[in-house]
């Protein structure tokens, strides 16, 4: 991850912290989320989620818009800059995986991926699996 963040900084995303990635991941799978939903996903208070949203909005990664059914809530969604950052992370991650494949071979890497997927699926039978930071 240090390598990914160094590459991001070199490409103009030096203000992204690892914790932001968990918010980006959550937001990338929906057409907006409330601060409460993001807080739940991250395992933080609503106030902490609002602070994170404020920070990401100032940096141009997310924007707020009206909620379609709840006038008291606002939805947070990724901006073009947020999506660009995700695309760079995905591209760099693919490069890292390519490097790993040269070290151990495509078959071994595919086998490892299959094993890890089986572990996650097994865990999901007992409780929902979410990608969030362990504070």
pTM: 0.83
Spell out the long-range contacts of 47-56 with Cβ–Cβ below 8 A and sequence spacing 24 or more: 52/19, 52/20, 52/23, 53/23, 56/20, 56/23, 56/82
Query: Does the residue 108 lie in any domain?
Result: no
Task: Please tell me the total count of domains within the chain.
Answer: 1
Query: Does the residue 70 lie in any domain?
Result: yes
pLDDT 10s digits, 39-92: 998 989 999 999 999 999 999 999 999 999 988 989 999 999 999 999 999 999
Structural domain including 37 reads: 2-90
Query: Does the residue 46 lie in any domain?
Result: yes
Whether the per-residue pLDDT at 129 is higher than 80: the answer is no
> What angle do the packed helices 35-42 and 18-27 form, to 10 degrees?
120
pLDDT 10s digits, 93-127: 899 999 999 999 999 999 999 999 999 889 888 88
Query: Does the residue 6 lie in any domain?
Result: yes
Query: Does the residue 119 lie in any domain?
Result: no
Query: Does the residue 105 lie in any domain?
Result: no
| CATH number where 74 lies | 1.10.10.10
Query: Does the residue 107 lie in any domain?
Result: no
Query: Does the residue 106 lie in any domain?
Result: no
| Alpha carbon distance 109, 77 (integer Å) | 34
Longest CA–CA separation in the chain, Å: 54
């Amino acid at each position: 991850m240090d390598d990914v963040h160094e590459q991001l900084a070199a490409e103009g995303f030096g203000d992204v912290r690892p914790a932001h990635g968990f918010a980006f991941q959550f937001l990338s799978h929906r057409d907006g989320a409330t601060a409460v939903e993001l807080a739940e996903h991250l395992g933080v208070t609503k106030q902490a989620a609002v602070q994170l949203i404020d920070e990401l909005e100032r940096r141009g990664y997310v924007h707020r818009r009206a909620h379609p059914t709840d006038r008291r809530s606002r939805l947070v969604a990724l901006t073009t800059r947020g999506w660009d950052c995700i695309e760079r992370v995905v591209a760099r991650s693919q490069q890292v995986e390519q490097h790993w494949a040269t070290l151990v071979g495509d078959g071994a890497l595919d086998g490892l991926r299959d094993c890890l997927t089986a572990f996650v699926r097994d865990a999901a039978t007992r409780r929902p699996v979410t990608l969030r930071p362990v504070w």
